[in-house]
């Protein structure tokens, strides 16, 4: 039996089924879902679970959530949404277009250690493992002064 990690644990690849490959179940600043949920739409968890339940009824079995930590990814919200809806959810690690200003100066090696830890051990102190690595950039590319240039400060690009 081949498996892949879902937010609820190992998932037999035979059970992946119809998959939506790039969704964002919730996007907010990091920590909003945990510390300031009242700033999101009312009953945000019910809305997420309800949308996933309707997707499940329409034939969707699995969703890959491409929300990165800098877009407010909360693996515990993903796990709860999966549990409530019956839809398998696959989490990602990585970063979006721009590295957050307060992370300017973080080296590529530091980011790599974070991403590897989230895949091997789990994210956000939970035993919820990321499966994919997302690395977005803009038309200028990763190293030419556009988005992501801060991701490589202090070390050579990989």
CB-CB contact of 151 with 142 (8 Å):
yes
Q: What is the model's pLDDT at position 139? A: 73
Q: What is the model's pLDDT at position 3? A: 95
Residue 37: pLDDT above 90? no
Kindly list the structural domains of the chain, giving each domain's residue range(s) and its CATH number in brackets, ordered by start: 3-152 (3.20.20.140)
Distance, CA of 5 to CA of 65 (rounded, Å): 13
Q: How confident is the model at residue 136 (pLDDT cuts 50, 70, 90)?
A: confident
Per residue in 5-33, pLDDT (tens digit) is: 999 999 999 999 999 999 999 988 888 88
Q: Mean of the pLDDT values across residues 97-113?
A: 80
- Token readout for 47 is 């809305």
| pLDDT > 70 fraction of the chain, expressed in percent and rounded | 84
Q: What is the model's pLDDT at position 86? A: 98
Q: How many CA atoms lie within 13 A of 97 on its CB side?
A: 4
Only one residue has tokens 């240039």, namely 149
Only one residue has tokens 């993903």, namely 78
φ, ψ at 9 (rounded to 5°): 120, -170
Per residue in 54-84, pLDDT (tens digit) is: 999 999 999 999 999 888 899 999 999 999 9
Q: How confident is the model at residue 34 (pLDDT cuts 50, 70, 90)?
A: confident
Alpha helices in the chain (DSSP H): 32-35, 44-57, 75-85, 108-120
Distance, CA of 94 to CA of 69 (rounded, Å): 7
Distance, CA of 21 to CA of 149 (rounded, Å): 27
Most trustworthy range by pLDDT among 13-22, 40-49, 97-106, 139-148: 13-22
Through-space distance between the first and last CA atoms of the chain, rounded to whole angstroms: 34
Closest alpha carbon to 111 in 81, 147, 148: 148
């Amino acid at each position: 039996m081949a498996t892949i990690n879902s937010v609820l644990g190992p998932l037999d690849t035979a059970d992946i089924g119809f998959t939506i490959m790039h969704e964002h179940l919730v996007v907010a600043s990091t920590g909003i879902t945990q510390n300031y949920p009242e700033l999101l739409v009312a009953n945000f968890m019910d809305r997420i679970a309800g949308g996933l339940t309707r997707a499940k009824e329409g034939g969707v079995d699995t969703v890959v959530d491409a929300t990165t930590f800098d877009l407010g990814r909360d693996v515990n919200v993903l796990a709860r949404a999966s549990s409530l809806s019956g839809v398998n959810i696959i989490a990602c690690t990585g970063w979006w277009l721009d590295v957050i200003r307060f992370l300017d100066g973080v080296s590529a090696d530091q980011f790599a250690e974070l991403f590897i830890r989230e895949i091997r051990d789990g994210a956000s102190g939970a035993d919820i493992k990321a499966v994919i690595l997302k690395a977005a950039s803009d038309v200028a590319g990763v190293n030419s002064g556009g988005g992501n240039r801060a991701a490589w400060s202090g070390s050579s690009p990989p």
